Amino acid sequence: MTGLPRRVSGEAVYATLGAAAPAGVTKQELLDATGLSTNQVSLGLAWVRDIAATEHATPLTWDHRHGYRLDDNDGTWTAYEPSQIRTRLGSLSRFVKAPSHPTTRGPPTASGSPSSSTPPPTSTTPTPSWSDATPSWSASGGPSPRA
């Protein structure tokens, strides 16, 4: 089957999951049972998660032990939801803590790995002081000539 709309793939996946419920189904079993390609099964699972599970009030869950399954048991969903939140928060935390650009970690050291403790290079040119840039004022209220 090629060129199927996402809904058609999703309905085939949903029917297979519904027939196997409450037991789980692996992705390979979904491929064999539906005759769809890997991409079509992935799109079908996304459709089930986004649309069918909401319409039928039966969430799609996945775990290593059972695979993909539609389970209306509240215990399954309440155990699945916190694990998904932890996963998403972990991904977000790694994203926030990561350097925004490869050069922000510093230049490579002798060992070849970037060093985060390398201080930035210092400038050899003197920095002008504030008094050098500010005109001096005379008692008359105007700038006085510099010597």
Tens of pLDDT, residue by residue over 25-79, are: 989 999 999 999 999 999 999 898 888 877 877 788 887 888 888 877 766 667 6
Architecture (CATH level 2) of domain 6-71: Orthogonal Bundle (1.10)
Tens of pLDDT, residue by residue over 25-37, are: 989 999 999 999 9
Residue type, 69: R
Q: Are 114 and 106 in contact (CB under 8 A)?
A: yes
| Rounded Cα distance, 65 and 147, in Å | 86
Asked whether the whole model's pTM tops 0.75, one would answer no
Assigned token pair, 65: 């032990």
Assigned token pair, 83: 């694990």
- How does DSSP classify residue 104? G
pLDDT exceeds cutoff 50 at 84: yes
Q: What is the pLDDT of residue 99?
A: 72
H or E element at residue 76: helix 74-97
